[in-house]
């Protein structure tokens, strides 16, 4: 049963029926006990009333008072010698003379309840079938319970109306969402909603807001990427035309070199775009593996070592704390590689880059410091924007390096800080709040 409304109505209906049945059987048991007490008392009173009466030896099988008795009492009287003096009704099988007082006997025609009393020279016995008592108890119980049926039907109708009214906000929200298209992110109205539904609507509105931000971010990303890719493609077309018009070997070789450089820049731009797209926090969930951050640093440095040697830049290590974090190893390696690449790329030749990994104030801090020109305070708020390049820098960069660093850090709940060191150069600090020592691993 997939409908919540029908499930609730079914459960409430079953509860109402169960309550009615329970009440009926409870009333039946109580009525049976009270009927037994009442009939036993009535039997004893009949026996006492018959003590002063005289009976002939003839059987009065058709006594009018006995025939009109709806409770089927049978009066039996015996003389002292055991001869039957009187019997009020005809039965195929009747209880024999029993011990004085109350007794219950089982005969071929059912169970009988008897009361026997001795009076002068006679024995008076009142007998009654237990089935008569049970029928009377059932009738009394039914008469006391049958008003529950219309009340139960009324309760069922009320439950139907209450459940339908309570779920109507959900139906309204469902209809409202069904009429929207993929570009509609207007918040759902939260007026006059029950508390439980209001919480659900608040979370839906929060989700719609995040989706709107993600969609706008993707649209800006696509627009920026299209704009940035247009320039290198145009440059490649011009370089190909220059190569085609080359009239001597020197001009031809120069055109080939420029073409290869343009292809390398375009390839790097596309690679950075793909990396940035993969770091979108909405595109995939974060890996939950234990990652050695020192190992990521060493791998990133190995990737950039050739480039650093070509520019005569020395990469130095400070302290490398043995600590792990939970995250995506490949994304972390790309983040460190981009930081090292930026440091090497914007440091003058014969400069230096220093890398530290230490624990400060209960946080694991990765610090990369270069001896370059640094970034002015006015430009720092924008350096994490996509495709933004600090004015005055060489045009070889893509403007995506620090954007990728920020995206990876955000996915790992880390913070990124920039500062210019007094001796010159830029220091990038990435602080990870969640980490654990490698020595503590099993």
pLDDT over 80 (residue 354): yes
pLDDT value of residue 68: 39
pLDDT over 50 (residue 58): no
Q: Average model confidence (pLDDT) for the chain?
A: 77
pLDDT tens digits, residue range 155-176? 888 888 888 887 777 777 777 7
pLDDT tens digits, residue range 379-399? 777 777 766 677 656 545 666
pLDDT value of residue 142: 79
pLDDT tens digits, residue range 209-242? 777 777 776 766 666 566 556 656 776 777 787 7
pLDDT value of residue 69: 42
pLDDT value of residue 60: 43
Q: How confident is the model at residue 408 (pLDDT cuts 50, 70, 90)?
A: confident
pLDDT over 50 (residue 358): yes
**Region 166-195: what's the mean pLDDT?**
74
pLDDT value of residue 375: 82
Q: How confident is the model at residue 34 (pLDDT cuts 50, 70, 90)?
A: confident
pLDDT value of residue 269: 63
Q: How confident is the model at residue 328 (pLDDT cuts 50, 70, 90)?
A: confident
pLDDT value of residue 67: 37
**Region 287-311: what's the mean pLDDT?**
83
pLDDT over 70 (residue 1): no
pLDDT value of residue 439: 44
Higher pLDDT, residue 6 or 312: 312
pLDDT tens digits, residue range 88-145? 877 778 888 888 889 988 888 888 889 998 887 888 889 988 888 888 888 877 777 7
**Gap between the Cα atoms of 24 and 54, Å rounded:** 45
């Amino acid at each position: 049963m997939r409908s919540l409304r029908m499930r609730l109505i079914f459960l409430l209906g079953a509860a109402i029926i169960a309550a009615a049945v329970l009440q009926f059987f409870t009333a039946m048991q109580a009525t049976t006990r009270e009927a037994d007490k009442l009939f036993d008392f009535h039997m004893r009173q009949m026996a006492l009333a018959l003590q002063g009466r005289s009976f002939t030896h003839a059987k009065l099988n058709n006594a009018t008072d006995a025939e009109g008795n709806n409770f089927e009492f049978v009066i039996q009287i015996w003389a002292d010698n055991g001869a039957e003096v009187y019997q009020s009704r005809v039965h195929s099988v009747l209880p024999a003379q029993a011990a004085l007082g109350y007794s219950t006997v089982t005969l071929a025609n059912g169970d009988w309840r008897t009361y026997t009393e001795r009076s002068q020279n006679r024995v008076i016995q009142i007998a009654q079938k237990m089935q008569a008592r049970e029928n009377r108890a059932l009738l009394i119980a039914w008469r006391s319970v049958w008003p529950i049926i219309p009340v139960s039907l009324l309760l069922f109708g009320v439950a139907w109306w209450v459940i339908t009214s309570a779920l109507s906000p959900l139906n309204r929200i469902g209809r409202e969402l069904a009429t929207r298209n993929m570009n509609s992110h207007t918040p759902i109205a939260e007026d006059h909603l029950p508390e439980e539904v209001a919480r659900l609507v608040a979370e839906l509105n929060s989700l719609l807001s995040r989706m709107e931000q993600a969609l706008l971010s993707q649209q800006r990303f696509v627009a920026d990427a299209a704009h940035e890719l247009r320039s290198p493609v145009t440059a490649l077309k011009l370089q190909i035309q220059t190569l085609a018009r080359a009239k001597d070997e020197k001009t031809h070789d120069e055109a080939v070199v420029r073409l290869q450089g343009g292809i390398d820049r375009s390839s790097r731009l596309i690679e950075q775009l793909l990396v940035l797209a993969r770091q979108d926090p909405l595109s995939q969930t974060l890996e939950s593996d234990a990652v050695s951050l020192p190992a990521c640093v060493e791998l990133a440095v190995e990737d950039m070592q050739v480039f650093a040697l070509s520019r005569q830049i020395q990469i130095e290590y400070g302290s490398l704390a043995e600590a792990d974090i939970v995250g995506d190893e490949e994304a972390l390696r790309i983040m460190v590689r981009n930081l090292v690449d930026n440091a090497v790329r914007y440091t003058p030749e014969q400069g230096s880059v220093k890398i530290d990994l230490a624990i400060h104030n209960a946080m694991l801090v990765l610090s990369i410091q270069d001896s370059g020109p640094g970034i002015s305070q006015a430009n720092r708020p924008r350096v994490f924007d996509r495709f933004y390049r600090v004015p005055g820098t060489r045009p070889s960069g893509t403007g995506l390096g620090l954007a990728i660093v920020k995206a990876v850090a955000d996915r790992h709940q880390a913070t990124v800080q920039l500062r210019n060191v007094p001796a010159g150069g830029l220091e990038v600090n990435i602080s990870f709040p969640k980490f654990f020592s490698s020595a503590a691993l099993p």
